Chain A
Amino acid sequence: DQQVKQNSPSLSVQEGRISILNCDYTNSMFDYFLWYKKYPAEGPTFLISISSIKDKNEDGRFTVFLNKSAKHLSLHIVPSQPGDSAVYFCAASDPGGGATNKLIFGTGTLLAVQP
């Protein structure tokens, strides 16, 4: 029972264009959402996060949008660069984790940015 879903296993985008990565979730009690990037043979690295009390957060080329009514979030990368080619995971903070900071991850989307 996947609580955090990334329905697109892969995405291909031209350099300079916008990349949009999507994520859906089922638990309306999730209070924080995070995006991670992972290169092969490396651990995931944190990109950007958003609290459930906001609907947008921006950091340079990366913007995350949260639509609570649709239980949907998206990561926009503008402009896309070849170095952005990686697997992207979305994650949600599990309220069932109590005071602890337990994250539930999606299955990932492989982004390929074509030069």
Chain B
Amino acid sequence: DVKVTQSSRYLVKRTGEKVFLECVQDMDHENMFWYRQDPGLGLRLIYFSYDVKMKEKGDIPEGYSVSREKKERFSLILESASTNQTSMYLCASSLRDRGSPLHFGNGTRLTVT
């Protein structure tokens, strides 16, 4: 069974802080993704990675960066947190094949004050 683990369930950070969200998957999946979920907006893709050290921007990459140094780990970085980045952040992984289901972690609820 695929397990995607996000390091924190809840985080509270101050405006301007650098924030790291960590995600680890145990199924040797090639693809990893970061989404954010906001009421009325659904899930929006921030960044994804299809291989180690490879990354591509999603639909809302501004204010974020990512790092994938190992296949199983995908980190989301908020360089300087702002209040409009308060959200639920969801990490996912999948096989490379198109149509393969994404497997999600339980999410990190980030509050920026």
Known contacts A100-B56, A105-B43; A45/B99 CB under 8 A: no
Beta-carbon contact of B101 and A49 below 8 Å: yes
Beta-carbon contact of B90 and A44 below 8 Å: yes
Beta-carbon contact of B107 and A107 below 8 Å: no
In whole angstroms, how far apart are the Cα atoms of A51 and B106 in the complex? 27
Chain A's interface size range is: 20 to 34
- What string of 1s and 0s marks CB contacts (under 8 Å) between A48-75 and chain B? 0101000000000000000000000000
A residues near B94, Cβ cutoff 8 Å: 101
Q: Tell me the nearest residue of chain B to A107, going by C-beta.
A: B42
Beta-carbon contact of B98 and A31 below 8 Å: yes
Q: Which of B9, B90, B100, B101 has most chain A Cβ within 10 Å?
A: B101
Chain B's interface size range is: 20 to 34
Known contacts A43-B104, A107-B41; A32/B4 CB under 8 A: no
Question: Chain A's nearest CB lies how many Å from the CB of B96?
Answer: 7
Task: List CB contacts (< 8 Å) of B32-79 with chain A.
Answer: 33, 35, 40-45, 48, 50, 56, 58
Q: Judge if A34 is at the interface, Cβ distance under 8 Å.
A: yes
Q: Tell me the nearest residue of chain B to A3, going by C-beta.
A: B59
Question: Chain B's nearest CB lies how many Å from the CB of A65?
Answer: 17
Question: Chain B's nearest CB lies how many Å from the CB of A87?
Answer: 9
B residues near A102, Cβ cutoff 8 Å: 33, 45, 48, 58
Known contacts A41-B107, A43-B4; A108/B99 CB under 8 A: no
A residues near B106, Cβ cutoff 8 Å: 41-43
Beta-carbon contact of B98 and A103 below 8 Å: no
| Closest CB pairs A-B (n = 7) | A43-B104, A32-B99, A46-B101, A107-B42, A105-B43, A105-B42, A100-B50
Question: Which residue numbers of A lie inside 8 Å of B, CB to CB?
Answer: 4, 6, 9, 31-32, 34, 36, 41-46, 49, 51, 89, 91, 93, 97, 99-108
